[in-house]
Structure 1
Amino acid sequence: MSAFARLRPTLAIALAVMALDQGSKLALSRWLPEGERLVLAPFLQLVSVYNPGAAFSFLAQAGGWQRGFFLVLALAVSAWLLWLAAAREAGRMERLAYGLIVGGALGNAIDRLVHGAVYDFLLFHAGRWAWPAFNLADSAITVGVALLLWHQWRQGKQARHANEPPNETPT
């Protein structure tokens, strides 16, 4: 199988994630004015905020240099994951995970290029506790990383079982 044929499913997933992410951000940013909130449920609000930092607003107050850093990081990680997907036979779970991570990373990279910050709109909370606002790209990255970790755990478990000596019954 050619490298491009191996890469095709990962690219399709990444493009779908980017389209859904950018479409949701465009629709919500036009519909909900910046700084506004809409309560959807006792635990969920739609918000309209721009985050110049990374996850959990990491480096949000860093003065601007973080924009280029996170942009280069997203491009480098995306290139590396696409190379992994093309360079070897990856299973369906790995291709799905790579596609989710690449699509999410590039979706947020587009925001950094266009707006200088990432548009976030989902806010989950319980009482006074609130999860930092996030978007579909962040969700795709999180699910992709969780799938890769689960896949690695399963492979390690299978390898350990394969190396165990067989049970011998006394004769």
Structure 2
Amino acid sequence: MNHTPKRLQWYALAIIVFLADQAAKSYIDATTPLGWSHEVTSFFNLVHVLNPGAAFSFLAGAGGWQRWFFLAIALAVSAWLVLQLYSPLRKLEGLSYSLILGGALGNAFDRAVRGQVIDYLDFHLRGWHWPAFNIADMAIVGGAIALVVVSLMSGDGPIAAKEPR
């Protein structure tokens, strides 16, 4: 039995994450000036900021080499994830890898084309701001959390069942 259509759903999900991420970033970039901030609630702002670094602006001030370093890592991880998604996987594993792949490609595209990643979601509480982030970041974190759940699960149940080859 051919299970390629089941595997294609994981690639399709990664593409959807990538496209949603790029659509949101393009909208923010086209409609708001850099540095823009709009209060949505008492704890959430929409913003337009650029991040040349990684999570939490890690290596943001490193002088430019980090763009290529993070792009290379994202592309290498993405290639590995594409291969993993072709293997028989638990459903939650497939979901995890798809989310991470879509997010990694979304931020890699920004680094390759824009030189930096566009972030626009800003949560804050009593003057403390969580670093701004985007859809790609949410997908990566969500996928990573799902991978932790997969690793903690036993081999029982429908989520843990691997697709046949």
TM-score, length basis structure 1? 0.86
Quick check: 1:105–1:137 contact (8 Å CA) kept in 2? yes
Comparing both structures, which one devotes a greater share of its residues to helix?
1
Please name the residue that 1:154 is paired with: 153
Give the alignment's Cα RMSD to 1 decimal: 1.5
How many Å apart are 1:46 and its aligned residue? 0.6
Partner amino acid, structure 1, of 2:138: S
How many Å separate the matches in 2 of 1:45 and 1:65?
30
Which protein has the larger Cα radius of gyration, Structure 1 or Structure 2? 1
Matches within 5 A, 1:110-121: 110-121=109-120
Please name the residue that 1:14 is paired with: 14
Q: Which runs of 4+ in 1 moved over 2 A?
A: 1-7
How many Å separate the matches in 2 of 1:74 and 1:45?
28
How many Å apart are 1:29 and its aligned residue? 1.4
Matches within 5 A, 1:77-156: 77-86=77-86, 88-155=87-154
How many Å separate the matches in 1 of 2:152 and 2:74?
25
How many Å separate the matches in 1 of 2:133 and 2:115?
16
Please name the residue that 1:47 is paired with: 47
How many Å separate the matches in 1 of 2:93 and 2:108?
22
How many Å apart are 1:4 and its aligned residue? 4.7
Deviations 1:107-158 (A, max 9, x none): 00110011100000000000021100000000000000000101111138x6
Quick check: 1:59–1:66 contact (8 Å CA) kept in 2? yes
Partner amino acid, structure 1, of 2:32: L
Partner amino acid, structure 1, of 2:14: A
Counterpart secondary structure, 2:154: helix
Stretch moving more, 53-62 or 72-81: 72-81
Unaligned runs of 5+ in 2: 157-165
Counterpart secondary structure, 1:155: coil
How many Å separate the matches in 2 of 1:81 and 1:125?
33
How many Å apart are 1:7 and its aligned residue? 3.5
Partner amino acid, structure 2, of 1:101: I
Distance 1:113 1:2, change over 3 A: farther
- Percent identical across equivalent pairs? 47
How many Å separate the matches in 2 of 1:91 and 1:7?
11
Partner amino acid, structure 2, of 1:31: T
How many Å apart are 1:40 and its aligned residue? 0.2
